[in-house]
Chains A and B, each alone.
Chain A
Amino acid sequence: MITRTLLACAFALSTLPAMAETVRMAVTTSFENSGLADVLLPEIQAELGIEVELLVVGTGQALRLGEAGDVDAVLVHSRPAEIAFVEAGHATHWREIMYNDFVLIGPSDDPAGISSAQTAADALARIAEAEALFVSRGDNSGTHQKELALWASAGVDPEDLGSAYNAVGAGMGAALNTASGLNAYILSDRATWLTFGNQADLALLFSGDPEMFNPYSLLPVNPDRHPHVNNAAVMQLEDWLVGPRGEELINAYTVEGQTLFVHSAVPQ
């Protein structure tokens, strides 16, 4: 009796939109926080008739969702992880769509003096030298992996920084909130920083090193592994993003007068 009621409820409530093409895409928090999705999704809906449902998660979880076949495509920014994902057969291929860049944020009086640094590695070395507080994502996300790579090229092991290094294990926004509370240095993507509402005494101190470019790629989940994924719609979506319309919208997107993303896909 109870099982039957449960089943009835389950079916009554699974209100899936009928007929409309839907693509589920796992994206990183930095993409969603940038606000670009709010520009692209209505256009995709209007021009292709595809409704894109975004699952905003960390890079690690996004790849897990793709691996399990719970999403149709994944949009992340962590090249080594993307290549491994394709090699493992979870996605058919990866396609670079655009890039933005990482920036170093810190207290506006800049106690470590990173604003005059020449390279990102130099800036991090100065933070380590000054023993200034630093907040790390610590969640194995694309941003976290980039941060670790930059520490490595600075020749600093973050473990040696002791209590000055705070790995919060949280998303970009939450980590920025922590940095804002501690008045600490942090590596963020430009998009999330510009749209972040709780900047307090923090300021953008260093950017522009090509090392800090951050390419985003689309990974269509392999339909041979997961026959239920909507691969046809994902391919349409990819063509649109790669094509002139995607290029125009992505390049024209600005926040506070700053261009956030540079379209970098090459049409085939």
Chain B
Amino acid sequence: MNEILEGLVEAAKLIAAFDPELVEITLRSLQVTITAVVIAAAIGLPLGAWLAVMRFRSRRLVIAILNALMGLPPVVVGLIVYVLLSRSGPFGVLGLLFTPTAMIIAQVIIVTPLIASIAHQAIRDLWSEYHDLLISLNTTKRQRVATLLWDARRALLTACLAGFGRGIGEVGAIMIVGGNIDNATRVLTTAIALETGKGNFALALGLGFVLIALAIAVNLLMHSLSRTERSGTW
């Protein structure tokens, strides 16, 4: 129990001192996960909407696979990305291993199925409501997807925030493809794993509390920017 209190004290100290190393790894955590979520949303949201609108033979199978991929173990994703980006792998010449880019690629793979699945669930319900209207207006497939994406934006924001949540707390994949290199690829979660390994529980917990605070701040910021969860609006 004491250690949790020590962790809180440590977190307060780190933030109060505006520790440059903490700022650096925090910014890198944000850079990696936000970039990954933006790319994943650019793929996952249209994919989710498209799956809701389109009817094709293996649709059920594709959706089942997508839902199952939400549970992809990050370590496995990390290993696959490592093997692909390794100097002996097919994309080795790009020299991307142990860079933030490699970490972003891994997180895109982890986050995209989650965003696409949640987007699909939300848009499927909306589509059953809009179906007759959009068909009678003689809209094209592209227009239907665009309308559904716009009108479901609140639910889609939730999908993106869920993706952010999965990415920012993830450690298994980025540890393998990033390598937790000081000043290059160390982020909050890998630093926490490192400090735990050194037995510095107070510092590890302190970093953990900083991570939680960061996640809360990002969620609040998104809600205030998108004017959701406010009094008077539902």
Contact = CB atoms under 8 A, between A and B. Distances in A.
Interface of A: 2, 5-6, 9-10, 13-16, 24, 29, 33, 53-57, 67-70, 171-174, 176-177, 180, 195-199, 226, 228
A33 B99 CA distance: 23
A177 B194 CA distance: 13
B2 interface: no
Interface of B: 31, 35, 39, 42-43, 86-89, 92, 95-101, 104-105, 179-182, 184, 194, 196-201
Contact of B43 (A2, A33, A55, A70): A2
Given A67-B88, A172-B197, A197-B199, 17 more contacts: A2-B42, A10-B104, A13-B99, A13-B101, A13-B104, A14-B95, A14-B96, A53-B181, A53-B184, A57-B179, A68-B88, A69-B88, A70-B88, A70-B97, A197-B200, A197-B201, A228-B95
Given A33-B197, A69-B87, A54 B39 contact: no
Given A10-B105, A13-B104, A70-B87, A55 B199 contact: no
Per DSSP, are chain B's interface residues mostly helix, strand or loop, or mixed?
Answer: loop
Contacts of A16: 95, 99
Contact of A14 (B39, B101, B181): B101
B192 to A, nearest CB: 12
A68 B89 CA distance: 8
A14, A69, A70, A228, most chain B CB atoms within 10 A:
A70
Contacts of B86: 68-70
Contacts of B98: 24, 53, 55, 70
Contact of B35 (A2, A13, A56): A13
B39 to A, nearest CB: 6
Contacts of B197: 29, 33, 171-174, 177
B39 A6 contact: yes
Contact of A173 (B97, B101, B198): B198
Contacts of A176: 199
